[in-house]
Each structure stands twice: as structure tokens, then as C-alpha cells.
């Protein structure tokens, strides 16, 4: 049950290989609210977004203060800084690029790194650059298998067209909110 004036803070991390589209997805989602703070020592960029959810069944509205962490793709940094990156993260958007096959299996090591810090948390797999689906290098069933392995779900997204971008952030926020009240 939510009180009508509740605010829930959420930390969401985007992970995945370089150039899969993490930064572009965040920009597309946040639009004008883009916050350019850059923590150079961490190699992570933090953006804030506020959203309101209505849960009629719970008789309430929920304000969500979302903090989105854009993790740079260098693996060397990941091992060194994973505590700093992932501490307190409540959800992951695991991003791969439909035009580069290895970006999907690479997500397993990203998820392993985050889970050693946070334990199990909600994950959504995003197969980005879906506007280039004619260059698809893995099958939808490979994507489905990967997400099933983590009891998760996947979406084809495009930061270019905006396809499923809002949905990705809303779904992960919803999964986090439901998990918190459960």
C-alpha cells in the first residue's frame, strides 16, 4: 500500500558493451531534463528523472525519484569500481546492440558484476538499435533464452526512433516498486 504522497528513490544502472546505445537511450528518455553531471573519477554519468505512477489497486500515487547511472563500457574500470557503480542499485537495464552478436553474451559478465554487489535485482534486457533490425545478428529466441535465464524480460528498443524507450524505464521502475512493496 502506498500513501498518496510517498516518494520512492530508485537507482537504475545501464550496463553493456561500449557503443550499444546506453547514453543515447538515457538521453532519449530524459529529453530536456538531461542532467550533465559527470563523475569523471567513476566513469559514470548520473541523470535524474522524476515520474509518477498510479496504482489504483493500492489506492495511491507514487512519486519516483529515479537516478539513472550510465556506466561506461570499459571492463577494467568495472572490476575496480563496481562497488561504487552498483552499490544500492535496485534495477538493471542490460543493453545489447542487435547489430553486434557478442554484445548479448557479454551481458552475462555485466550482470555477474552487478549481482555480486547488489544480490538479485530486477533486470530488463534491451536489444537496442531495433531500427536496424535488418542487420539482426542474433535471434529473438536467443534473447528470450538469455532473459529467461535471469527470470527477466526483454524489449527491442531504438534510441533513434524512440521505440520502447519509455516503456523500458517504466517497466524496470514498476518492477522495482512492486518488489519493494511485496
Q: Does 77 sit near Mg ion (CB under 5 A)?
A: no
* Sole binder of Mg ion in the list 6, 9, 17, 23 (CB under 5 A): 23
Reported for 142-151, long-range contacts at CB under 8 A and 24+ positions apart, including other chains, are 142/104, 143/104, 146/104, 146/105, 146/107, 146/108, 147/123, 150/111, 150/123, 150/125
Task: Tell me the window of 16-24, 47-55, 90-98, 173-181 that interacts with Mg ion (CB under 5 A).
Answer: 16-24
Task: Based on the shown chain and the rule CB under 6 A, indicate whether residue 46 belongs to the binding site for ligand G3D.
Answer: no
Three-state SS for 49? strand
Query: What character string, x for contact with ligand G3D (CB under 6 A) and - otherwise, covers 62-101?
Result: -----------x----------------------------
Tell me which of ligand G3D, Mg ion, none is bound by residue 167, counting a contact when its beta carbon lies within the kind-specific cut-off of 5 to 8 angstroms.
none
Separation of alpha carbons 35 and 66, rounded Å = 12
Residues between 99 and 128 that touch ligand G3D (CB under 6 A)? 128
Closest residue to ligand G3D, based on beta-carbon distance: 21
Print the SS3 string covering 90-135: CEEEEEEECCCHHHCCCHHHHHHHHHHHHCCCCEEEEEECHHHHHH
Residue 90's Cα: distance from chain center in Å? 10
Q: How far is the CB of 132 from ligand G3D (least distance, A)?
A: 5
CB of 141 to ligand G3D, least distance (A): 21
How far is Cα 36 from Cα 115, in angstroms, rounded to an integer?
A: 27
Residues near Mg ion (CB under 5 A): 22-23
Residues near ligand G3D (CB under 6 A): 18-24, 73, 128-129, 131-132, 158-160
Amino acid at each position: 500500500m502506498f500513501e498518496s504522497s510517498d516518494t520512492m528513490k530508485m537507482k537504475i544502472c545501464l550496463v553493456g558493451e561500449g557503443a550499444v546505445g546506453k547514453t543515447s537511450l538515457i538521453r532519449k528518455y530524459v529529453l530536456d531534463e538531461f542532467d550533465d553531471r559527470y563523475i569523471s573519477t567513476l566513469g559514470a554519468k548520473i541523470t535524474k528523472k522524476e515520474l509518477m505512477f498510479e496504482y489504483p489497486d493500492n489506492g495511491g500515487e507514487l512519486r519516483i525519484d529515479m537516478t539513472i547511472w550510465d556506466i561506461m563500457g570499459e571492463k577494467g574500470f568495472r572490476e575496480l569500481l563496481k562497488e561504487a557503480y552498483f552499490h544500492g542499485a535496485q534495477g538493471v537495464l542490460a543493453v545489447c546492440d542487435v547489430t553486434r552478436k557478442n554484445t548479448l553474451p557479454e551481458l552475462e559478465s555485466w550482470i555477474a558484476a552487478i549481482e555480486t554487489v547488489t544480490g538479485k535485482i530486477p533486470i530488463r534486457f534491451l536489444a537496442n538499435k531495433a531500427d536496424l533490425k535488418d542487420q539482426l545478428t542474433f535471434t529473438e529466441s536467443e534473447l528470450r533464452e538469455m532473459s529467461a535465464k535471469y527470470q527477466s524480460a526483454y524489449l527491442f528498443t531504438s534510441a533513434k526512433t524512440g521505440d520502447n524507450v519509455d516503456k523500458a524505464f517504466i517497466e524496470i521502475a514498476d518492477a522495482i516498486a512492486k518488489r519493494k512493496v511485496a
